[in-house]
Amino acid sequence: MKLAMWMLRHSTSCLERRLCGWQSLLKQNGRQALGCNRNIYSETGTWERDYRPETRKSVEEYWHSRIKEQFQIISETDKSKPKCYVLSMFPYPSGKLHMGHVRVYTISDTMAHFQRMRGFQVLHPMGWDAFGLPAENAAIERGLDPEEWTKSNIAHMKEQLHRLGLCFDWNKEVTTSQSDYYKWTQFLFLKLFMAGMAYQKEGLVNWDPVDQTVLADEQVDENGCSWRSGAKVEQKYLKQWFIRTTNYAKSLLDALEGLPDWYGVKEMQANWIGACTGCYFDFELKVNGEKVGEKLAAYAFFPEAVYGASHLSILPSHRLLHGDSKLRHLLQEQFVSDTDCRTPVTAVNLLNGQEIPLIISAKEEFEDRLDTVIGIPCVNPEDSAVAQKLGLQWREVFETLPDGTEKLRNSGEFTGLDRRSAIQAILKHARDLGIGGHFTSTKMRDWLISRQRYWGTPIPIIHCPSCGTVPVPYEELPVPLPKLKSFTAKGTSPLSTASEWFNCTCPKCKGPAKRETDTMDTFVDSAWYYYRYTDPHNSQKPFDTVLADFWMPVDLYIGGKEHAVMHLYYARFISHFCNDQNMVKYREPFHKLLVHGLIKGKTYRLPSNGRYLKNEEISFSGPDPVHAKTSEKLQITWEKMSKSKYNGVDPAIVVQQYGIDTVRLYILYAAPPEQDILWDIKTDAIPGVLRWQVRLWALVTKLIDARNAGVLPCPDLLNEKETSEAKRMWQSKNYAISQQATPRVILHSREYEEALVALCIMMAPMAPHLASELWKGLSSVQNKFFTLCQWNTDVLLQQWPSVDPVYMQQPDTVQMIVRINNKVCGSVNVPQHVVKNAERVQELILQSELGIRQLQGRPIKRAILSPRATLINFLVE
């Protein structure tokens, strides 16, 4: 693929003939285009000599549906071929594509075509990340049904994708808001719940005190106020659902080592996870020796020293002091600001039964995101100071042997183990008991998935007054999302207003119960969609293991850098979990990751108030743009395209103006995928891309004219100069087909035809419509030399060109041209392996017959070896 892109980048400079630009063609032929009906070769059998705007439109109209039909035919699963899974991150159905969408899907579409031509069985699916806040906001603001709003947007965006000529496996389409998808999201939640990985506890939320509802972060403005009521948002503790992603932190961190380069994303993931050197242990809380029904997970920096704990420390901001805990008032009574406060609450370590006091720390924060830590004086001087100040007792748990080895003592069954062995043994024991023991970092928190919103996947849990928290039986999935008339509810989730749905029967005791009214974070939906694509119509399970194992892992995953941490982390977590559940063979879901840059547009702002201006508010008459009314100089920057910044570009307008293939070529040419594209049509490369297409069309026209003129081509008819010209073309390999090639070389040389064929095939994944028509033209050529392709089938069905083994063979010796004072005086054969060694080449030249004859006895001021050609120039007196 790199060769093809390199070829495309260099073709413009190597096609030497100066042709008129596309813009001049528009001006020259504008009136003619309105009044004529040009038809292309594929329709008429007559080759159109010039590639004009109307020709381009005819080509794209003709080939648009045919390319899609070809794609569907070759998309049928053929397990005899090697597989290639090309996946672009699926979009939220906002209703309108932007240029960022066009970029990511152009890249994935190009790669899908490319891999098919290389002989791979390709999966290139598309779907919709359809749950989320915008649909619910639209429902509240406009009185719309979120489902109908979403379906309408999907239909519109599918039509937009269709117009762009993108070839997706639409028979694999998934929509996360449809019950046939979220049924299996609920299934995976239940798997997590049954494995002890999903649990409920209090967590902080954004609370609107006026509307009495929970707000997403996006609904809180920069002043900390509600987007709807304008009230100052409060932080409030509510019961939330969490997934124990911290249990997999070490696994996810270690697995990064086995992945290829991810454009810096691996480092971002590793930094986000952090060093996994400690772990959590579960404690049971007591007051006056009586259990209070509260458990607390506390972090141990040195798990092997847990038997030496003296106390448990919590922050003053901990949920036990501010949430709905039974201990809230007791702890608040004990709290004194800026003081380490011992409380009457004790914590029993479920690993060893040790009972230690609960301390409210004088600190405002612990390391990173911790709020509960185990105080172990023998390994931490700060813990030792707290314990001594409060009169707490602890045990020394390490002894140092004469050889420097540290071993455990006073540590129950682990006494006598060295520290390294003790860590593994203690953590395994804790995991076996289900009370923690998983290596994690101080940065990581469990994944909060609860959302007090309507438009999301319902959490399949029932709350029974007798049985407690009860999972919905698998056979009763999906738990449907009920229809609502109102999507706002005071003090609770909107789902609680659907009384018939909300009130239910407990699956265990058959008594009255209530459904969970929280819905899942949309990151849960997108954490497993790549698996569903492999088997999207399965009604018996999320996916068939055999199919998933055939297609997974994703060979190329394409998306924006904004998803480089959270989405990838959650998706990798689900994949690791499914592997542990024996649902899939592979642990990591993605092999190669391509993180694309943004497409940015120019923005104009008033420095005085920071307001973005529309183009009609700006005067461009002077050397610098100014505000049309006040003449104030503007702040000009490049920013991500946005409606609010008035720097967006409508893809439909760009495609209508320049064509699908031009937009595709420009996006692929303008910058490497990982870099940003600065979109400025006045100075952009689009005119160059248009001229390149015109030149390529002209190359094919020349060959058609030459070969259809009635003269039988014969390489033996070329004279020495023409043969050398053809040989240079072969040596340049594909990218240097000059339009200055003589007519006889075009007619008689095998090299010109083969290079043009290879160029047409290699441009096909990038500009499929133009390449398809050019291929039809090449197919019409009489007396073709090239026989290694299938001329009776279209270009996208051809095999990708293979490397010419003869070209790759390096000769033992190379002819080095010798110049003296810039004048060629002959050549000398030198060994291939020394051609870049200036001293060795000079020595061999001086020892040769030519050197003895021309240079012996003459003072040499300097010898210059060309870095690009086999040429050396001697400057002599």
> Strand 213-215's sheet: what is its strand order?
213-215, 198-208, 234-243, 447-448
Hey, how many other C-beta atoms are within 10 angstroms of the C-beta on 643? Answer: 9
pLDDT at site 7: 40
Helix pair angle (22-35, 686-707), 10° resolution: 70
> Which stretches of 180-258 are assigned E, i.e. beta strand?
198-208, 213-215, 234-243
Strand partners, 400: 406
Amino acid letter at 632? E
Give the span between the Cα atoms of 568 and 556, in whole angstroms.
13
Please give the model's pTM, rounded to 2 decimal places: 0.86
Burial level of 720, CB count in 10 A (0-12/13-18/19+)? exposed
**DSSP code of residue 245:** G
Q: Are 798 and 778 in contact (CB under 8 A)?
A: no
Per residue in 830-840, pLDDT (tens digit) is 998 898 899 99
**DSSP code of residue 650:** -
Q: Are 321 and 330 in contact (CB under 8 A)?
A: no
Hey, how many other C-beta atoms are within 10 angstroms of the C-beta on 49? Answer: 12
Which residues does 155 contact at the CB level (< 8 Å), separation at least 6?
A: none
pLDDT at site 684: 66
Give the span between the Cα atoms of 318 and 867, in whole angstroms.
68
Prior bond of 471 cis (ω within 30°) = no
Per residue in 695-743, pLDDT (tens digit) is 999 999 999 999 988 889 998 888 888 888 787 777 665 445 544 678 8
Report the run of H or E that residue 3 belongs to, with start and end: helix 2-14
CA–centroid distance for 332 within its chain:
47
pLDDT at site 428: 97
Residues with pLDDT less than 50, the chain: 1-36, 734-735, 738-739
